[in-house]
Chains A and B, each alone.
Chain A
Amino acid sequence: AQSVTQLDSQVPVFEEAPVELRCNYSSSVSVYLFWYVQYPNQGLQLLLKYLSGSTLVESINGFEAEFNKSQTSFHLRKPSVHISDTAEYFCAVSVNQGAQKLVFGQGTRLTINP
């Protein structure tokens, strides 16, 4: 079975500061990794994913995540956050590329202060 741990339930940062949201996973087989974002009153949206290839993956809005197999981590980073990044961020894993069954972490609430 797989499990995902997001070490921080809440992360407050000031606007334009860097941020890192931590994600560690546990699995006895290879996994595919995802970050989803949930803006207030909206559904879960895919932010970025690692399926294969380069271990550093990027999103269109400046977030990036690096797959580290030895540390079983997939931390999410952004060098400079905006107020609009305020949301809940979920790390998730799947054992199949089609991601039919996702195992989620408990989520990290990112709050950006002006």
Chain B
Amino acid sequence: EPEVTQTPSHQVTQMGQEVILRCVPISNHLYFYWYRQILGQKVEFLVSFYNNEISEKSEIFDDQFSVERPDGSNFTLKIRSTKLEDSAMYFCASSNSSPLHFGNGTRLTVT
């Protein structure tokens, strides 16, 4: 069964550094998403992306965040200047309608 893949599985970065989290969605899917889960808290919606543009974003998704689909297969989340509070598990997901298919996540640790 096709699956969403995320790399790396764990990334450690210093505060203030830029980080790019990578995702390869399921190949025929049209909708792409990023969610995150801060340790001990709920899984939270960050952004949805369709037809090469953001379709919806949460208040968490401020100017420090950006998403891109640089080619036909990758979907990336960039955090420009990481803060300690950005430490979380970041999940990529894709779909055509329902349900969402999630990747295994990237654990981001900001030190």
* Residues of A near any B CB (own CB < 8 A): 4, 32, 34, 36, 41-46, 49, 51, 90, 92, 97-107
Contacts and interface: CB of A to CB of B under 8 A. Distances in A.
A90 B99 contact: no
Interface residues of B, number: 25
B44 interface: yes
B1 to A, nearest CB: 11
A105 B102 CA distance: 16
Given A49-B99, A103-B45, 15 more contacts: A4-B42, A32-B98, A34-B99, A43-B105, A44-B91, A46-B101, A97-B97, A97-B98, A98-B97, A99-B97, A99-B98, A104-B44, A106-B41, A107-B42, A107-B43
Given A41-B104, A43-B104, A43-B105, A101 B99 contact: no
B98 A98 contact: yes
Contacts of A90: 43
Contacts, number: 59
Main secondary structure of the interface of B (DSSP, over half): strand
A44 B99 CA distance: 11
Contacts of B100: 46, 99, 102
Nearest to A4: B42
Interface string B43-73: 1110010000001100000000000000000
A4 B90 CA distance: 20
B95 interface: yes
Contacts of B110: none
Interface string B22-53: 00000000010101000001111100100000
B19 interface: no
A46 B103 CA distance: 12
Contacts of B103: 43
Contacts of B105: 43
B4 interface: yes
A107 B42 CA distance: 7
Nearest to A92: B43
Contacts of B55: 100
